[in-house]
Structure 1
Amino acid sequence: MQVLKQETEIAEVIRERRSIKKGYNNHYVKEDTVTDLLEDAIWAPTHGMRQPWRFVFIGENQKQEFAKRIASTYPEERQANRESYLNEPSAILVVIMEKGDNQKKQDENFGATACMIQNFQLLAWERHLGVVWKTNPHIYDSKVEEILQVNEEERIVGFLHMGYFDELPTKKERIPVRDKFSTFQVV
């Protein structure tokens, strides 16, 4: 058995990864790249092997029409802003999950989907593809669900904005674990 070094490559990738919210360059994000990343990302832990996710890809050729349609669900005074905002990334991946027929399954499905998204972000980072998980109000809008053909047993978990980038965002420190850690004590 091989002994792992003190800090593994995965630990480095976890600490180095950043959410890329803007500053995308003009390199296109290809559908094949996204499906390739997803083939590995879906190996996330999933309760009962439910694999409760599905995806809708919006690439360069669909982005303008998609942005216009999603922006149309906002009040008129916000539509131009939202359309511009949705046109910023090079591509968008909408992540949709099965709700589950009770609270336990819904929590498990969300946890599995969140793990899969984190896998996707880490895998994308290795390829110098920036990703940010967006949970804007439109993901809860029934009109957006209709546009994306989300059925009653599903919900949108988020829009993953993606794009290649030239500049790294500043690293933001984390609260030390010891500040949020305790040991159970019998009283």
Structure 2
Amino acid sequence: MNNERQKVIDELIRERRSVTSFKPDQVPTDELIELLEVAKWAPNHKMTEPWRFLLYTGEGTETFIQAFIESQPAPGGQISEGVQKKADHFRSIPVHLVVIMPEDPRQKTWDEDHAAVSALIQNFQLAAWARNIGMIWRSNDWIYNPTFREKIGVKPGEKIVATLMLGYIKDVPKPKKRTDIKEKLTIISE
């Protein structure tokens, strides 16, 4: 690998941020598919490609939002102020992508699949960032709620690894301090 490619990759990794502020512009579905085509090159043991996706864009985002609302306890049948506020925020996000994997009962396979899906998500984030598309990787408690899962079509035996909320970047957050890797590294040389 030449030095220029190394610099580009290093810079891309260091600059990527979780983004929560998006422009209202829609991201074309073809561009999202292209990003997933790039992301699928993630390492995955035995080439199992243990992922599937639910893409909510345009008017389809309301399906995702309604599933979220219906999964939240509603005292007296009324949507709470907090749930309504979160739903309104979700409406300001152009795209919601749910990333799903099979829950294999064999722990080793489950671990390998989860690692592969996580690598795919990171590839997706980096490829998107290079195109000025930001996102935040959410794994909130409501992704485990049976109502939410059923409403969006997650089958028994599947795990939601992430809900990626994404769009063209409006504001880039400042970087947060990271621990010097030497504090996390043990070197065994003999």
TM-score normalized with structure 1 length: 0.91
Deviation per residue, 1:2-56 (Å, 9 max, x gap): 64359421111000111102x2112112211111100010000001111100000
Q: Residues 72 and 79 of structure 1 are in contact (CA less than 8 Å); yes or no, is this contact kept in structure 2?
A: no
Distance 1:162 1:3, change over 3 A: closer
Distance 1:114 1:6, change over 3 A: closer
Indicate the residue corresponding to 2:150 in structure 1: 146
Counterpart Cα distance in 2 of 1:138 and 1:145: 9
SS in 2 for 1:68: helix
Indicate the residue corresponding to 2:132 in structure 1: 128
The gaps in structure 2 that reach 5 residues or longer are 75-79
Q: Does 1:47 align with 2:45?
A: yes
Higher mean alpha-carbon deviation, 48-57 vs 4-13, is at 4-13
Which of 85, 106, 109 is 2:110 aligned to? 106
Q: Residues 46 and 112 of structure 1 are in contact (CA less than 8 Å); yes or no, is this contact kept in structure 2?
A: yes
Indicate the residue corresponding to 1:17 in structure 2: 16
Deviation per residue, 1:88-145 (Å, 9 max, x gap): 3111000001112311111111000000000000000000001110011111111111
Q: Residues 67 and 82 of structure 1 are in contact (CA less than 8 Å); yes or no, is this contact kept in structure 2?
A: no
> What is the identity, as a one-letter code, of the residue corresponding to 2:72?
Y
Counterpart Cα distance in 2 of 1:120 and 1:20: 14
> After the TM superposition, which segments of 4 or more aligned residues of structure 1 sit over 2 Å from their partners?
2-8
User: What is the identity percentage for the equivalent residue pairs of Structure 1 and Structure 2?
Assistant: 33
Greater relative CO (CA pairs within 8 A, separation 6+): 2
Distance 1:70 1:15, change over 3 A: same
Indicate the residue corresponding to 1:37 in structure 2: 35
Higher mean alpha-carbon deviation, 116-125 vs 69-78, is at 69-78
Counterpart Cα distance in 2 of 1:14 and 1:145: 32
Q: Residues 51 and 100 of structure 2 are in contact (CA less than 8 Å); yes or no, is this contact kept in structure 1?
A: yes
> What is the identity, as a one-letter code, of the residue corresponding to 1:14?
I
Distance 1:153 1:6, change over 3 A: closer
Counterpart Cα distance in 2 of 1:47 and 1:41: 15
Q: Residues 54 and 95 of structure 1 are in contact (CA less than 8 Å); yes or no, is this contact kept in structure 2?
A: yes
The gaps in structure 1 that reach 5 residues or longer are none
Q: Residues 24 and 164 of structure 1 are in contact (CA less than 8 Å); yes or no, is this contact kept in structure 2?
A: yes
Q: Does 1:171 align with 2:169?
A: no
